[in-house]
Amino acid sequence: MWIFQTWMLESLDREASRLGVTRQSIIKIWLAERLEQVASGK
């Protein structure tokens, strides 16, 4: 089981707040960006 460290959650929350989205949304955004990078071979 994956347990998120406190610093990870705080970092996610700061970035989500900066962008005006929820923690769940920032995770989805980052996953989509990463999958696009993988698909384009970067």
Hey, which bits of 1-42 come out as E strands?
none
3-class SS at 1? coil
Beta-carbon contacts of residue 37 (< 8 Å; ≥ 6 apart):
none
Q: What is the pLDDT of residue 30?
A: 93
In this prediction, the residues of the chain whose per-residue pLDDT falls under 50 are none
Q: What is the pLDDT of residue 1?
A: 67
